[in-house]
Amino acid sequence: MDSITSLSGRFAWAAARVFDGERTLVDHAVLVQDGVISAVLPQHSLPEGVPLRREPDCTLLPGLIDTHVHFMRWQGPLFLAHGVTTVRDVGNDLEWILARRGEWEANLWPRLLCVGPLLDGPGPVHAVVSRGCADAAAALAAVRETAAAGVDGIKLYVGLHREWLPAMVREGQAAGHKVSMHCSGSGVLVAGSAGIDEFFHLDGILADVWPMHPAGWLSAWGRPEFARTLDRQRDVADAIGALGMTATPTLAYWDSQWRIRTADHLGSAAMRHVPTAIIEAQGRQAADPVAAALWQRALRAAQDFVGLLVARGVPLLAGSDVPCGAVPAGLSLWRELSLLVEAGLSPTQALRAATAAAAAFLGQPRLGRLRPGAVADMVLVRGNPMERIPERPDVVAVIRHGTAHRPGCLLAAAAAATATVDNEPWGLQLALHRAASAAAGTR
Ligand SMILES: [Zn+2]
């Protein structure tokens, strides 16, 4: 045990900069007592006799929150190693994820929030992690029963009929939950008019701005014709603002789609910790410069649209969509923050989207902030991320519920945690998708 990991019980951590989830404090310290923050104060006013660690080159931040993941065990230590101390699972087998949610502290995992399965229409896309609904009554029962199971939110999926949405939203919100949606075919505005609180991935925008778009899902965003929808994009961004929706664009997923079509991506340092089974399931593609260029333009178009949302003050949350696109757990949230900054947020605004703003949206006042009464989930990084979001953060330590961990130990734990991939709901789901696309390829 070194001097960092021996810190527990009552201790203080001082850094050149403390980002408290909202603003930056200079030469402050955070005082921790039994896993809870008891004070954030100038270093010179620390009480006597408290074990103190000073980190003059570093910034102390709240543990980050990844608001869009599909949890698997291998991801747990990787999230922590990169300073992500809370994740929201947005689609998984209900029983499985509820059981895992209760185990985070006994494992090297972040805290887990969950929404249960994707609530989808008849014939769900991701059968293993969805609950398909045949009609309006079944859809309403799905919301009621999912809420009663004790989830942290409700997630609606692409196959639901638009007529079902208002009653589903009312049911979920009456149970005290935010209702989020991956809206594709019927568009974001239909969802917003039904009262949906949050939309994922931006792909639903396509139905709103370019209803007659060619097949090819998100790649349509990369076509030259998409740029001609700019006036319509502005109108839709206005409407999203007026509807009070929150957006979680998961730009890291968009980013993955051009990267997995380039030759050197799989050998990159970022991919080192992604299990081969995950890459094989959906990440491994033959290098294809034409498709890569198309997807890269799609990402730029998505970032431009996020810029329109930023200009209208639409709240944004940071989510990566791990393991989709084989994006690496933890590191991809920092990538998401850089992509949000390119789209128009300041680094501080991007960090808020992964800390205080995320916690507020999720109804978790003790997370995402460094203030008295908050749980002591923190990350210490070298340098100043409020000046520039680092591509690969130099994480010195991660404190989860008052106990400090070294990233090196967490990465070693991650390497040992990949054996369970095939036995978990998303492992099974990805294997089914892979088998289906292999069968389609041989027809
Ligand atoms: Zn997702």
Tokens representing 170? 């009312």
Distance CA 282, CA 436 (A): 12
Element (H, E) at 37: strand 36-42
Structure tokens at 375: 């749980």
Rounded Cα–Cα distance for residues 196 and 43 (Å): 44
Shortest CA distance to 364 belongs to which of 24, 86, 169, 108?
86
Q: Which residue has the tokens 């974001």?
A: 188
C-alpha pair distances (Å), 438 with each of 6, 62, 276, 283, 441: 51, 43, 17, 14, 5
Q: Quick one: tokens of 153?
A: 């939110």
Give 14 Cα–ligand 1 centroid separation in angstroms: 37
**pLDDT confidence of residue 149:** 98
The hierarchical CATH code for the domain 65-343 is: 3.20.20.140
Partnered with residue 42 across adjacent β-strands are 28
Q: Which of 44, 56, 43, 50 is nearest to 7 (CA)?
A: 50
CA atoms within 13 Å, Cβ hemisphere of 51:
11
What is the rounded distance in angstroms from the CA atom of residue 172 to the CA atom of residue 151?
A: 11
Q: What is the pLDDT of residue 305?
A: 98
Tens-place pLDDT, residues 353-363? 999 999 999 99
Confidence class for position 418, pLDDT limits 50, 70, 90: confident
CA of residue 68 to ligand 1 center, whole Å: 6
Mean pLDDT of the region 68-79: 96
pLDDT in the model for residue 75: 96
Q: What is the pLDDT of residue 3?
A: 63
How far out from the chain centre does Cα 335 lie? 11
CA of 173 to the centre of ligand 1 (A): 21
Angle at 360 (CA atoms; ends 193, 347), nearest 5 degrees:
100
The rounded Å distance from CA 324 to ligand 1 centre is: 7
Ligand 1 centroid – CA 296 distance (Å): 20
Separation of CA 67 and ligand 1 centre (Å): 10
| Interval between CA 188 and ligand 1 midpoint (Å) | 16
Q: In what order do the strands lie in the sheet with 84-89?
A: 64-69, 84-89, 111-114
- DSSP H or E run through 356: helix 356-361
Per-residue pLDDT tens over the stretch 343-353: 999 999 999 99
Distance from Cα 253 to the centre of ligand 1, integer Å: 9
- Specify the residue for token string 């609180």: 197
Residue pair 10/379 in contact by the 8 Å Cβ criterion: no
Q: Residue 351's closest CA among 365, 366, 368? A: 368
The answer to whether the beta carbons of residues 199 and 247 sit under 8 Å apart is yes
**How far is the centre of ligand 1, averaged over its atoms, from the C-alpha of 238 (Å)?**
25
Q: What is the pLDDT of residues 223-243, one digit of tens each?
A: 999 999 999 999 999 999 999
Is 19 strand, coil or helix? strand
| Nearest CA among 121, 308, 353 for reference residue 208 | 308
Q: Which of 168-182, 207-221, 377-391 has the lowest mean pLDDT?
A: 207-221
The residue to which tokens 């589903």 are assigned: 168
> Which distant-in-sequence residues (6+ apart) come within 8 Å of 346 by Cβ?
none
Residues in CB range of 187: below 8 A, 6 or more apart? 204, 205, 206, 207, 208
